[in-house]
Amino acid sequence: MTEKIKTNVLIDGRNFTVIGNGSEEYVHKLATYVDKKIKEMTIKNDRLSSSMAATLAALNISDELYRSIRELESLKNKSKIPMENYENIINQLEDIKKKNEELDIDCNTYKDELLDLRRENEKLSKEIENYNQALKLKEKELQDNQNMIKKLQDKVYNSQIQLIESKKELEEALKLYDKEKNIFNKEEI
């Protein structure tokens, strides 16, 4: 069993020895509070006897206690439903934590995928840039080749014209030769 503590207190000018389980500090606080309430009664009505002031103080303290008990009961009733739902709320919180962890994992996965896609995009962009540069070089090469083909076609055309002119000259020369040969042949006959 716990040891009882004896505490001497002064209430309304009289000494009392209180025996109980509370600490001396606690008992002194109670005695000070009761003494204060008695003094409030005597200040309000100086004709009250000491026992009447103590009785009215006790009535006021009882009123405070009664109101405090009612307020405590009201708070217990108000907290009853939340306390009954406490287990559900804890379960919901756990579910939300699990979902949050899953979302964190998904988020990290998406971040990794996004990073991979960005790297792939950069790689493809470099490839496209290289292809574009190669395309420009090929287009320039094609243009140069087309220019060269045009020049060669012009040369072939000019050569064909020269060839045709040369053929005409040759035919004329052959005709002239044939005429002269025929003339010589006729003279011989």
Over residues 87-115, the mean pLDDT reads 94
Q: Where are the domains of the chain?
A: 5-84
Cα 171 to its chain centre, rounded Å, is 93
Q: What percent of the chain has pLDDT over 70?
A: 96
Q: Which residues contact residue 82 at a Cβ distance below 8 angstroms, ignoring those fewer than 6 apart? A: 89
Burial group, residue 46, by CB count within 10 angstroms (0-12, 13-18, 19+): exposed
Q: What is the mean pLDDT of the chain?
A: 91
Total-model pTM: 0.46
How far is CA 152 from each of CA 106, 124, 127, 130, 138, rounded to the nearest angstrom? 66, 40, 36, 32, 20
